[in-house]
Amino acid sequence: MTTLGILLVLALLLVVFGLLFRLQILTSIFSGSSTREVGVSNRVNAILFVVFLVVGGAAFAWSFIDNYDKMNPPIASIHGLATEKMFWTTMVIIGIAFVLTQVLLFFYSYKYQHQDGRRAFFFPHNNKIEVIWTLIPAIVMAALVFAGWKEWTRITGPAPKDSVVLEVMGKQFNWLVRYPGRDQKLGVVNYRLIDAVNEFGFDLSDQSGIDDFTAGEIHVPKGHPVLLRIRSRDVLHAVYMPNFRVQMYAVPGMPTKFWFTPTKTTDEMRAQTGNPNFNYELACNQICGRGHFAMKMSIIVDEPDDYVNWFAQQKSFSEQNPEVLASFKQKSDKLVEKATVVPAAAAAVVPAAAKASL
């Protein structure tokens, strides 16, 4: 405690000496007796400001142009076009403000470098300017935020009732995908049932899970809304589908969702990009561990008829893993046995209780 007090006193003393020193300089400047040499560094710094503006500006423009294709893969979803439009509107508006303010900032630093005999104009306050530079950005920002909020509510709103539903689950380090099967209902899953075979934790005592199937790649029909139900089995991952402009966290213990409508089939995109090997991709967009880079899955956008064919060919998880289904059957048989025993015992008790109440 004493040491702390001494340190505090020393620090305060330093501050006092610093202020005294500064006061002395200021009085000498105002009395006109200041003989401080400005030196050559003032001019060097002024020129460096301009160099930074030109070189930095050029580097920024180059990085932007050079990475344009990587940042803007061709769009293949309805909402993707809307977000793209919003992105570029925002980019142009803030781009103009950015360039204007940065050019003025660096150029004026050069223009108004120190010169002997030149005094700065004392300009403490101007209400008109304050109002202008507060109101205009506030109105523009409010308009941008409102447009963004409106679009975002539409994108994240409830999915259409006839959406194709599929579940995407992230785990270290790959994606697992589950479709609801013919009944269009995803069955119950339980993390306690997860093992090497039952990776999803299927609870096959739930009838709606019997026809659920898993897939090695995602298939979705073109022009049809698709609802992704998103889960994580371990850590935070993110479902990222750049061409569809889809990104949503996969959070352990908290299911999330995202719905979108693909507008171009894989074949159409291959023709458009001129790349016969093009594949839509689902990638993880959160660094989730050592194998993060490998968390990828292909997405195939089919013509609706092809999608129906593909869907019909899929074999359910329970069909492919009869031993898992059998283990659930065994469990439920045991439960049925117990259930048939209990009512008999209960039947003996109930009349007695009923008699007692009479």
Is residue 298 a contact partner of residue 217, using CB atoms and an 8 Å limit? yes
Is 237 a residue that touches Cu ion (CB under 5 A)? Answer: yes
CB of 99 to Cu ion, least distance (A): 37
CB of 312 to Cu ion, least distance (A): 32
Q: Which is nearer to Cu ion, 220 or 295 (CB)?
A: 295
How many positions of this chain bind Cu ion (CB under 5 A)? 4
Stretch that binds Cu ion, among 195-203, 218-226, 229-237, 309-317 (CB under 5 A): 229-237
The Cα 202–Cα 42 span in angstroms is: 72
Q: Which amino acid is at 177?
A: V
CB of 291 to Cu ion, least distance (A): 8
Which residues are CB-neighbours of 75 under 8 A, at least 6 positions away?
81, 84, 243, 244, 245, 263
Is residue 295 a contact partner of residue 237, using CB atoms and an 8 Å limit? yes
**Structure tokens of 190?**
């339980």
Q: Which is nearer to Cu ion, 60 or 293 (CB)?
A: 293
Q: Which is nearer to Cu ion, 76 or 239 (CB)?
A: 239
> Contact letters (x/-) for Cu ion, 295-334, by CB under 5 A?
x---------------------------------------
Residue-by-residue DSSP string for 83-122: HHHHHHHHHHHHHHHHHHHHHHHHHHHHHT---TT-----
Helix axes 78-111, 41-66, angle to 10 degrees: 170
CB of 295 to Cu ion, least distance (A): 4
Q: Which is nearer to Cu ion, 175 or 317 (CB)?
A: 175
Q: Which is nearer to Cu ion, 189 or 295 (CB)?
A: 295
Is 79 a residue that touches Cu ion (CB under 5 A)? Answer: no
The Cα 348–Cα 358 span in angstroms is: 17
Phi/psi for 85 (5° steps) reads -60, -45
Is 248 a residue that touches Cu ion (CB under 5 A)? Answer: no
CB of 248 to Cu ion, least distance (A): 13
- 278-297 binders of Cu ion (CB under 5 A): 284, 288, 295
Q: Which is nearer to Cu ion, 248 or 295 (CB)?
A: 295
DSSP 345: H
DSSP 264: S
Stretch that binds Cu ion, among 29-37, 110-118, 234-242, 340-348 (CB under 5 A): 234-242
Starting from the edge strand earliest in sequence, which strands make up the sheet with 218-221, in order? Answer: 218-221, 296-302, 280-284, 237-241, 246-250
Is residue 192 a contact partner of residue 185, using CB atoms and an 8 Å limit? no
Length reported for the chain: 358
Q: Which is nearer to Cu ion, 52 or 191 (CB)?
A: 191
- 170-199 binders of Cu ion (CB under 5 A): none
CB of 284 to Cu ion, least distance (A): 3
CB of 140 to Cu ion, least distance (A): 37
Name the residues that contact Cu ion, by CB under 5 A: 237, 284, 288, 295
